[in-house]
Structure 1
Amino acid sequence: MGLVFALVGVFLGHYLDNPYFDGGASIAIGLLLMLVAIFLVGKTKRLIVGLGVDDATLASLATVVKGQSAVETFRPPLTMYLGPTDVVLALDVDFRDELSAVEVESAIEELQTAIKTAHPEFQHIFVEAKALAKRRHNQPVV
């Protein structure tokens, strides 16, 4: 678009012998660059400060986690983009009390596999298996 502004400004400036068109085109290009900069700041600001995934992905992730038979409750997940297709996921999960340590380990592997199948962008998945009962009054449990 900037090149079109420049072409039109220079063409009209020479064709009409009026340098104001060239100057006006320069101003229009400057305004265009400002708009692009504002757009890029809005898009990259959240990535710089640690943007998490969107609400639709969080809802889908909650569905996957709730679908695991070993999961009793879990806190809302923490996510952060490391790159365009590389997302870190941290989950605090309360597994059923009757599960043994070996069964919890197997459940964590199943959970990670289910998440990676549904959302391959989650390259790093950290599952903290512990009771959440002590923190239920402080943070929401899904």
Structure 2
Amino acid sequence: MQSTKFLVTGGAGFIGSNIVYDLLEKGHSVRILDNFSSGKRGNLTGISNDIELIEGDIRSYHIVSEALKGVEVVLHLAALPSVPRSIKDPITSNEVNVNGILNILEASVGANVRRVVYASSSSVYGDNPELPKHEGMLPNPLSPYAVSKLA
């Protein structure tokens, strides 16, 4: 199997770190970009010598473009994931969740990234009780967080 160079934004978070462990187990090269606002260094225990860690914020185009150098695939999980926080501070939620993905996409073009995978949220479907959620469902965002993950 051929090794691929991944950038995992939010790679110190619960989901991101589990993906990082899986990628490493499969022999891939992993760089993490995380500002540790909700991610934890403890989630990376035992792999610090196997990853490249960049502590930085996806709101900074410069940091994102540096993190993307030599990367083939981006797994974008970084976000401000709190509905209550998005209601209290919708501007910051938008800056991170919308401007952050815009920085990822724009810088990815310049870095010749092959693929960007974006982790959205089931909150974009609102209170629809249908399970499992799927991308064919009509969105019905009920919070600034949901709107930012849909955008």
TM-score scaled to structure 1, two decimals? 0.29
- With CA pairs under 8 Å and 6+ residues apart, which has the higher RCO, 1 or 2? 2
TM-score scaled to structure 2, two decimals? 0.28
